């Protein structure tokens, strides 16, 4: 059992803290908000993440997991401290490191015994060295420390599963010994561990997210070509993805990628590259295609609806993907904004993200069910593919609409079935005319 301090109780911090406690360690999570800490003591989590509440509760009751606003308390016995604070985008697309800086200073002034500082936040290449400089500059006691970069690859919505079943653990440090000590924390997970230098570990995180975003933008570009040529992008993805060199993951065409990671990380790597004299042409194209993908929803709807003035459009799903209440950079925001800008009345429903959505889009009509969204609408757009939407009585939906126009932004429904129910159906990258039956 190791003593671990985790700074930050967001998606990465809380999942890391709770899961490390579940692996048998004693973990204390530090954050600045008293309200969040008080709530966590009562079992109320600041985020929605499937399975997390149960792990938090179990480990809190077993006294392996605790929460505090006090850095002193958090660091007193810690052998390891994880930095898991936010790195939002700055005005130029660069990563804003103010939270990481503050965190490093707070650690430095409280160091009382040797410690390994592990960075889990996604930070620009070179930040590990810089954290070490801050510690050296601000530490009040002459204690030994090492900095390790340990990028996190978990996805929101499946964070606990991803933490417990990683494809690999990446550790970068100037101290091989420190990296090996961190590797021991993950031994129960029995996975491949890659130990490298700090810069390379930091780059692996950006390169991974950028590649995944590239795969999605690629398939979205293929979708546009499929539409023009009368092919079906879902089958194209299946055919391509069956090649082991390509792989089937992240080939789902849709309204584009969003969330708190891909948009910020692709922008940040493009910014870092440009400031170091490189020309990140591919990253720029990847972002541009993603932006266009949101506009395409409006263009395609216009083709069937004419203009939107005085029309009511229903939106199913608001979060940036299913199983999360996270609205950061959600495609729904821009799509709704464009519809409203062109005169549409928009009403929407999301199983869990409506509270967060209200803070960003107070002017929307929020409904208590998908059926209420469709009722009397001139068009319906599915933006987020929650499971709940796959089981709807689509016949009832079609009958309740003023015009049964369905834009399926995630290719969730069967076009032929939707047409049989009376919908004017449009998907992403799917032929307008169905191929002949085999």
Contact flag: residue 146 with ligand UGA (CB under 6 A): no
150 neighbors 171 (Cβ within 8 angstroms): yes
In whole angstroms, how close is the CB of 81 to ligand UGA at the nearest point?
A: 20
Q: Which residue is nearest to ligand UGA (CB)?
A: 252
Taking CB under 6 A as the criterion, the residue among 106, 152, 232, 408 binding ligand UGA is 152
Element (H, E) at 68: strand 65-68
**Residue that the structure tokens 């898991």 belong to:** 84
Taking CB under 6 A as the criterion, the residue among 130, 153, 186, 366 binding ligand UGA is 153
Phi–psi pair at 222, nearest 5 degrees: -60, -35
Taking CB under 6 A as the criterion, the residue among 172, 254, 404, 429 binding ligand UGA is 254
Q: Which of 49, 88, 45 is nearest to 329 (CA)?
A: 88
Contact flag: residue 222 with ligand UGA (CB under 6 A): no
Contact flag: residue 66 with ligand UGA (CB under 6 A): no
Q: What is the DSSP string of 131-176?
A: HHHHHHHH-SS---EEEEE----PPTTSHHHHHHS-SEEEEEES-H
Contact flag: residue 212 with ligand UGA (CB under 6 A): yes
> Cα(195)–Cα(305) distance, rounded to whole angstroms?
55
In whole angstroms, how close is the CB of 132 to ligand UGA at the nearest point?
A: 23
Nearest residue (CB) to ligand UGA, 8 versus 259: 259
Phi–psi pair at 249, nearest 5 degrees: -70, 150
Read off the DSSP letter of residue 435: P
Footprint of ligand UGA on 275-304 (CB under 6 A): none
> Cα(311)–Cα(402) distance, rounded to whole angstroms?
10
Contact flag: residue 154 with ligand UGA (CB under 6 A): yes
In whole angstroms, how close is the CB of 52 to ligand UGA at the nearest point?
A: 14
Taking CB under 6 A as the criterion, the residue among 80, 145, 257, 389 binding ligand UGA is 257
Contact flag: residue 209 with ligand UGA (CB under 6 A): yes
Contact flag: residue 49 with ligand UGA (CB under 6 A): no
In whole angstroms, how close is the CB of 324 to ligand UGA at the nearest point?
A: 7
Catalytic residue annotation: 261
Strand-strand pairing, 168-173 and 145-149:
antiparallel
> Cα(320)–Cα(228) distance, rounded to whole angstroms?
27
Contact flag: residue 261 with ligand UGA (CB under 6 A): yes
In whole angstroms, how close is the CB of 184 to ligand UGA at the nearest point?
A: 22
Contact flag: residue 409 with ligand UGA (CB under 6 A): no
Taking CB under 6 A as the criterion, the residue among 13, 17, 252, 404 binding ligand UGA is 252
In whole angstroms, how close is the CB of 259 to ligand UGA at the nearest point?
A: 4
**What pairs with residue 436 in β-bridges?**
none
**What pairs with residue 89 in β-bridges?**
95
Q: Answer positive or negative: Cα dihedral of 334, 328, 286, 280.
A: positive
> Cα(416)–Cα(422) distance, rounded to whole angstroms?
10
Binding interface with ligand UGA (CB under 6 A): 122, 152-156, 209, 212, 216, 250-252, 254, 257-259, 261-262, 320-321
């Amino acid at each position: 059992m190791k003593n671990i301090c985790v700074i930050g109780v967001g998606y990465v911090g809380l999942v890391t803290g709770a899961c490390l406690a579940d692996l048998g360690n004693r973990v204390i999570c530090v954050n600045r908000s008293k309200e969040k800490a008080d709530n966590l003591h009562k079992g109320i989590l600041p985020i929605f993440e499937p399975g997390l509440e149960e792990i938090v509760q179990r480990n809190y009751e077993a006294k392996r997991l605790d929460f505090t606003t006090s850095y002193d308390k958090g660091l007193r016995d810690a052998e390891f401290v994880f930095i898991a604070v936010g790195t939002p985008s700055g005005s130029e697309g660069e990563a804003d490191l103010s939270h990481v800086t503050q965190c490093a200073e707070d650690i430095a002034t409280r160091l009382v015994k040797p410690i390994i500082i592990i960075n889990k936040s996604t930070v620009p290449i070179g930040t590990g060295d810089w954290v070490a400089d801050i510690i050296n500059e601000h530490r009040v006691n002459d204690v030994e420390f090492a900095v390790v970069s340990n990028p996190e690859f978990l996805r929101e919505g499946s964070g606990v599963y991803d933490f417990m079943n990683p494809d690999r653990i990446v550790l970068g440090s100037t101290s091989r010994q420190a990296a090996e000590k961190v590797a021991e924390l993950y031994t129960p997970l029995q996975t491949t561990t890659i130990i490298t230098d700090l810069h390379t570990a930091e780059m692996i995180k950006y390169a991974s997210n950028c590649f995944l975003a590239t795969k999605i933008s690629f398939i979205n570009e293929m979708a546009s070509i499929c539409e023009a040529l009368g092919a079906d992008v879902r089958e194209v993805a299946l055919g391509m993805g069956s090649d082991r060199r390509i792989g089937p993951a992240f080939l789902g065409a849709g309204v584009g990628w969003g969330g708190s990671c891909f948009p910020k990380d692709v922008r940040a790597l493009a910014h870092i590259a440009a400031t170091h004299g490189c020309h990140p042409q591919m990253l720029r194209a990847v972002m541009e295609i993603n932006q266009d993908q949101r506009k395409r929803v409006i263009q395609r709807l216009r083709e069937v609806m004419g203009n939107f003035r005085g029309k009511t459009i229903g939106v199913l799903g608001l979060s940036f993907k299913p199983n999360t209440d996270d609205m950061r950079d959600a495609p729904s925001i821009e799509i709704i904004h464009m519809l409203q800008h062109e005169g549409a009345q928009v009403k929407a429903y999301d199983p869990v993200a409506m509270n967060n959505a209200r803070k960003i889009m107070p002017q929307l009509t929020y409904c208590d069910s998908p059926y209420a969204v469709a009722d009397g609408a001139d068009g319906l757009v599915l933006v987020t593919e929650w499971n709940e939407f796959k089981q709807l009585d689509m016949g009832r939906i079609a009958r309740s609409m003023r015009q049964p126009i369905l834009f399926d932004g995630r290719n969730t429904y069967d076009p032929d079935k939707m047409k049989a129910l009376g919908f004017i159906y449009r998907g992403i990258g799917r032929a307008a005319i169905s191929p002949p039956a085999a």
